[in-house]
């Protein structure tokens, strides 16, 4: 997904002081990723053998995700590899193409610049709070990465707005006009909403990056509504420091070690030795290998780029037509998206659970996706067998000794899924620690066991590429959350529920319409942005129709997996066109049969729920539903003071800031239930802690408690009687 289109401008080779700066920037990303791997691994060892840990390890790792996200996004901008979905500008002639590039890059630079200004406002307000991150370092220092990252992206996007200084000045002029309109226009903001959205749409069509489309939409809608645009970097920050989010860069790093080492060749030899001699064997090998790599990299583009050169010659030499081979490779690139430890199910779990309407764990998503993923693989492999030559082209037969020798050669890499799954599902490691162990194991295998990667030469390069990909992804989902924030604030989910439940009465009709809608979403939106924007709207509607949230999540991801093959801008189509140097029209025609085959698989997943719900039920993960996961215990004010001190309960005050300031329990944290970001804050709480909840009286108390009951916290205790009863019992109150 980070691969540029053939028409993009190549970045100039760095020399002198620029080369030093490039090296320093790369080193920062590599160091951040290395510390993210080491700290959780050390935590496991210290906890296991010394019953201790590293102070503030979790917040440090979470803020390193912010560092990798912003610096990686800056790297992507430096290399001119920010993802853009539109290829319309490639069909323009030279002068028009230059004008389109200047306009789109100028608009993108303006959006980045405005996000930078909003980030400054956020950091200054955070600085006044005086919160500490760890070891005396204030939180605002880490948050400054938002300012630095958006500033670098703005400058670099505008630099690539033209090949000459004339083109760059034109880009700068466009950016200056957009910023001036946003800051000093005499026209009321509400009257500029739709002209601004139209200009953004044109910039996106001319090749502006995806993050510009989402971030720009959020900026325009929030600004024209009279609200503070600082909410965008605030939401960006809260997402990137989510306790579960470090799993995304860590599992991606493990996949990159595999992809850049010799794993592809060894696993290809392994699958070929076992399946290559049978009819359709090369297609089966292609499906297995692509699914394996995509499950670890989380990006079908990496799979197509990395494996396309290896697999295409094998398919052609085995008698496959070039068109069939091209279609198979384009479709197989996304087959591993439902398998652990792939990134989209992780992000879906985080986003779906953050809204408070349901609770879906990472483990449940992976358990639910296993059988549907195997169904999709089986259908793709079956199509590969049917479309292949009727007779096996090879003269060799299956050789058991060769097959087992291939297993022995690839044994360390075959254990990587075992390492990931055992650490993830065993219970002795958190998801972040499981991801760190998997990345560390992949490093040891490729660097020390097989020695395919040189420690000083290759490892920094691979980690930099990983940081670039992760940065591009986090940049998109971070600004997409700002857009989602606007939708929630405008009560769009409630309106959607009311409209859909009023217009559609049948659950099965709703599922059919949902598939059609998600196919369009998958064809037009990048998968990570789609998860952040669409899932908060979709989950409440699914609950209204009584659909199991795990089933809903797998339907969602399976449709987006199909969206990679949907014209006009399906990601796999674009990348296959780039990798095999074929016109988009030819790739689209080649992928059409695979698209239809996988569509049947999506319908099976949709209308046969046990495919998804069987394994979560078998492993007693419990149905992820809107029903209360645990009851709420009640405590009177007389016993609460002792409970707080002896049991180390975290006190949460769910009243408004004004009520909180008027008087609150000593040491309480204000978590305003009426705030639009309440669900985000709730989703970031450590579910292994015990919480004493203090609510307002009346209906708001009941509503907020019901929200807590839907989440799987270790312990929720409600303080009966409120602050007045607390004070009446002689307990201290802070003001």
Q: What is the pLDDT of residues 231-257, one digit of tens each?
A: 899 889 988 888 888 988 998 899 889
pLDDT band at 527 (very low <50, low <70, confident <90, very high): confident
What three-state secondary structure class fits 388?
A: coil
- Higher per-residue pLDDT: 668 or 87: 668
Is the predicted pLDDT of residue 94 greater than 80, yes or no?
no
User: Comparing C-alpha atoms, which of 563, 633, 625 is closest to residue 598?
Assistant: 563
**Identity of the highest mean pLDDT range in 105-119, 486-500, 501-515, 584-598:** 105-119
Least confident of 84-93, 154-163, 216-225, 360-369: 84-93
Tokens of 383: 């199509």
Three-class HEC string of 123-186: HHHHHHHCCEEECCEEHHHHHHHHHHHHHHHHHHHHHCCCCCHHHHHHHHHHHHHHHHHHHHCC
What is the per-residue pLDDT for 242? 81
Cβ-based neighbours of 191, under 8 Å, separated by 6 or more: none
Q: Note the residue count of the chain.
A: 735
Classify 79 in phi/psi space as left (phi over 0), alpha (psi -120 to 50) or beta. Answer: alpha
Say how far apart CA 508 and CA 306 lie, in whole Å.
40
Is the predicted pLDDT of residue 628 greater than 90, yes or no?
no
Is the predicted pLDDT of residue 624 greater than 50, yes or no?
no
What is the per-residue pLDDT for 278? 78
What is the per-residue pLDDT for 429? 80
Which residues does residue 652 pair with via DSSP β-bridges, in sequence order?
A: 669, 693
Angle at 129 between CA 63 and CA 70, to 5 degrees: 25
- Higher per-residue pLDDT: 351 or 356: 351
Contact of 55 with 457, CB cutoff 8 Å: no
Say how far apart CA 701 and CA 549 lie, in whole Å.
26
Q: How many CB atoms lie within 10 A of CB 690?
A: 15
- Higher per-residue pLDDT: 700 or 181: 181
Say how far apart CA 330 and CA 323 lie, in whole Å.
11
CATH match for 633-734 among 3.40.250.10, 3.10.20.90, 1.10.238.10, 3.30.70.980: 3.40.250.10
Q: What is the pLDDT of residues 5-64, one digit of tens each?
A: 333 444 555 567 788 888 899 999 999 999 999 999 998 898 888 888 788 888 899 999
Q: What is the pLDDT of residues 429-481, one digit of tens each?
A: 888 888 999 999 999 999 999 999 999 999 999 999 999 988 988 898 888 88
pLDDT band at 675 (very low <50, low <70, confident <90, very high): low
> Quick one: what percent of the chain has pLDDT higher than 90?
30
For the chain, the structural domain boundaries read 17-240, 247-618, 633-734
Is the predicted pLDDT of residue 513 greater than 80, yes or no?
yes
pLDDT band at 346 (very low <50, low <70, confident <90, very high): confident
Say how far apart CA 541 and CA 365 lie, in whole Å.
19
Is the predicted pLDDT of residue 686 greater than 90, yes or no?
no
Contact of 692 with 723, CB cutoff 8 Å: no
Angle at 525 between CA 229 and CA 585, to 5 degrees: 145
What is the per-residue pLDDT for 705? 58
DSSP 421-460: HHHHHSSSS-HHHHHHHHHHHHHIIIIIIS--S-TTTHHH
Q: What is the mean pLDDT of residues 642-658?
A: 65
What three-state secondary structure class fits 690?
A: strand
User: Comparing C-alpha atoms, which of 117, 182, 218, 115 is closest to residue 488?
Assistant: 218
**Identity of the highest mean pLDDT range in 89-103, 346-360, 489-503, 552-566:** 552-566
User: Comparing C-alpha atoms, which of 731, 732, 682 is closest to residue 710?
Assistant: 682
Q: Which stretches of 626-669 are DSSP H helices? A: 637-647, 657-662
> Quick one: what percent of the chain has pLDDT higher than 70?
81
Contact of 156 with 74, CB cutoff 8 Å: yes
Cβ-based neighbours of 538, under 8 Å, separated by 6 or more: 514, 552, 556
């Amino acid at each position: 997904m980070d691969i540029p289109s053939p028409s993009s401008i190549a970045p100039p080779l760095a020399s002198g002081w620029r080369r030093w700066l490039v090296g320093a920037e790369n080193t920062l990303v590599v160091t951040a990723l290395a510390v993210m791997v080491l700290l959780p691994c050390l935590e496991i060892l210290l906890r296991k053998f010394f019953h201790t840990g590293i102070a503030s390890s979790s917040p440090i790792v979470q803020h390193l995700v912010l560092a990798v996200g912003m610096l990686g996004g800056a790297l992507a901008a430096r290399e001119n590899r920010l993802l853009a979905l539109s290829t319309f500008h490639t069909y323009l002639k030279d002068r028009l193409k230059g004008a389109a590039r200047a306009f789109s890059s100028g608009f993108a630079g303006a959006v980045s610049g405005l996000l930078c200004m909003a980030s400054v406002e956020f950091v200054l307000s955070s600085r006044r709070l005086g919160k500490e991150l760890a070891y005396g370092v204030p939180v605002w220092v880490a948050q400054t990465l938002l300012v630095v990252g958006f500033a670098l992206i703005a400058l670099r996007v505008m630099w690539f707005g033209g090949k000459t200084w004339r083109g760059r000045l034109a880009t700068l002029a466009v950016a200056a006009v957009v910023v001036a309109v946003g800051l000093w226009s005499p026209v009321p903001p509400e009257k500029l909403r739709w002209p601004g959205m139209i200009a953004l749409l044109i910039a996106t069509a001319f090749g502006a990056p995806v993050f510009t489309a989402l971030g720009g939409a959020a900026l325009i809608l929030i600004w024209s509504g009279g609200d503070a645009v600082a909410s965008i970097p605030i939401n960006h920050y809260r997402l990137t420091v989510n306790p579960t989010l470090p799993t995304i860069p860590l599992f991606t790093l493990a996949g990159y070690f595999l992809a850049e080492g010799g794993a592809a060749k060894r696993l290809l030899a392994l699958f070929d030795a076992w399946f290559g001699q049978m009819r359709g064997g090369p297609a089966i090998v292609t499906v297995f290998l692509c699914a394996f790599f995509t499950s670890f990299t989380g990006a079908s583009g990496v799979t197509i780029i990395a494996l396309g050169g290896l697999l295409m010659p094998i398919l052609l030499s085995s008698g496959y037509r070039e068109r069939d081979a091209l279609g198979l490779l384009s479709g197989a690139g996304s087959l591993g998206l439902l398998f652990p430890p792939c990134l989209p199910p992780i992000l879906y779990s985080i986003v779906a659970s953050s809204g408070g309407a349901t609770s879906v764990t990472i483990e449940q998503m992976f358990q639910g996706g296993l059988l549907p993923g195997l169904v999709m693989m089986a259908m793709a492999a079956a199509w590969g067998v049917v479309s292949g030559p009727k007779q096996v082209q090879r003269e060799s037969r299956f050789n058991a000794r060769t097959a087992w020798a291939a297993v022995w050669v690839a044994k360390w890499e075959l254990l990587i899924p075992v390492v990931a799954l055992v650490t993830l599902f065993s219970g002795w490691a958190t998801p972040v620690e499981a991801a760190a162990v998997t990345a560390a194991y992949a490093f040891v295998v490729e660097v020390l066991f097989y020695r395919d990667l040189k420690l000083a030469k290759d490892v920094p390069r691979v980690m930099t590429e990983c940081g670039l990909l992760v940065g591009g992804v986090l940049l998109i989902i971070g600004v997409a959350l700002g857009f989602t924030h606007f939708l929630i604030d405008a009560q769009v989910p409630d309106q959607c529920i009311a409209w859909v439940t009023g217009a559609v009465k049948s659950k099965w009709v709703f599922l059919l319409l949902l598939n059609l809608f998600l196919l369009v979403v998958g064809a037009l939106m990048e998968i990570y942005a789609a998860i952040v924007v669409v899932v908060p709207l979709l989950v409440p509607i699914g609950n209204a129709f009584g659909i199991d949230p795990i089933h809903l999540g797998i339907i969602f991801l399976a449709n987006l997996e199909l969206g990679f093959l949907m014209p006009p801008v399906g990601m796999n189509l674009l990348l296959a066109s780039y990798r095999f140097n074929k016109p988009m029209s030819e790739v689209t025609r080649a992928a059409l049969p695979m698209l239809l085959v996988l569509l049947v698989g999506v319908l099976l997943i949709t209308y046969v729920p046990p495919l998804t719900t069987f394994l979560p039920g078998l492993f007693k993960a419990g149905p992820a539903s809107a029903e209360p996961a645990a009851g709420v215990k009640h405590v009177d004010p007389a016993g609460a003071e002792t409970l707080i001190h002896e049991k180390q309960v975290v006190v949460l005050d769910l009243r408004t800031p004004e009520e909180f300031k008027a008087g609150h329990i000593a040491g309480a944290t204000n978590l305003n239930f009426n705030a639009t970001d309440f669900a985000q804050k709730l989703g970031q709480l450590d579910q292994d802690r015990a919480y004493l909840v203090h609510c307002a009286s009346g209906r708001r108390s009941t509503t907020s408690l019901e929200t807590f009951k839907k989440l799987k916290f270790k312990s929720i205790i409600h303080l009966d009687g409120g602050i007045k009863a607390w004070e009446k019992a002689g307990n201290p109150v802070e003001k």
